[in-house]
Amino acid sequence: MTQLESPRTGFAAATLHVDDVSHSYGALPALRNVSFDVPAGTVCAILGPNGAGKSTLAAAIAGVVPTRTGSVLLDGEDLSRLPRHARARRGLAFVPEGGALFPGLTVAENLLVGDRGASRQERKETLERAANLFPFLAKRWNERAGMLSGGEQQMVSLSRVLVHPSAVVAIDELSHGLAPAIVEQLFNVLAGFRGEMTLVLIEQYVKRAHELADQVVVLSYGEVAIQRAATDVSLAEIEEAYELDLTGGGAAKEDR
């Protein structure tokens, strides 16, 4: 087993390379020449105020929206022209904001969506792994996902990705609208996968994301304002970049 190979069945952690990515909604630019690397097995927090382009960047990485220019590479393979499902087959998983569960399906059915062709034993093991992450699930297998609280739904969404290790997991606004205790539980679970998967967190909960991350990328008006090791950037610097954006100051100095 290589150093970065997951002990579970699935992909090994991979390096994500985002190179000169731009995207526009009509005439309105949302991303401008965004570039950064996320080494295999590390955690990158993508931060910035509302409207900075964070969710658009997550969607561009996952293949939900096309890039006008630039490339998204996974261990050197250019995925830029591949749709979302093809990127997923190469190990690039995506948890969109709100989780995107099937509300009419049960908790167990949502977790087993990706287990087509799996044996009964394999499906059982998938559910066991999910229950190991969030023990409450074991009592809720047959409950409709739409009946769960927002925090519980986010736990199911996160479990659905983590039970089958991916090379890279991009997670958009994991903490949005959730109570602090739930957010802490979600982040604690993610911390357990450091090294097994490459994690890209698009987050509004700056302090907790900064604590978990190896690298921080702050967006301002769709551009990279800060790109640095998390240990080399303070919360005060991040807040200053937010203020520049909110007061119309534009992107701060870019750290490469």
pTM of the model: 0.88
- When pLDDT is averaged across residues 183-193 and rounded to a whole number, the result is 95
- When pLDDT is averaged across residues 161-179 and rounded to a whole number, the result is 92
Q: How many CA atoms lie within 13 A of 209 on its CB side?
A: 26
pLDDT tens-place string over residues 86-125: 999 999 999 998 778 899 999 999 999 877 778 889 889 9
Query: How much of the chain, in percent, has pLDDT values that exceed 90?
Result: 76
Q: Are 183 and 207 in contact (CB under 8 A)?
A: no
Q: What is the pLDDT of residue 245?
A: 52
Q: What is the pLDDT of residue 244?
A: 59
pLDDT tens-place string over residues 194-247: 999 999 999 989 999 999 999 999 999 999 999 999 999 999 999 888 875 544
pLDDT tens-place string over residues 24-71: 998 899 999 999 999 999 999 999 998 899 999 999 999 999 888 999
**What is the homologous superfamily of the domain 16-100+166-246 according to CATH?**
P-loop containing nucleotide triphosphate hydrolases (3.40.50.300)
Pairing assessment for the beta strands 28-38 and 16-25 based on DSSP bridges: antiparallel
155, 159, 162, 163: CA torsion to nearest 10: 160
Q: What is the pLDDT of residue 248?
A: 47
Q: What is the pLDDT of residue 243?
A: 75
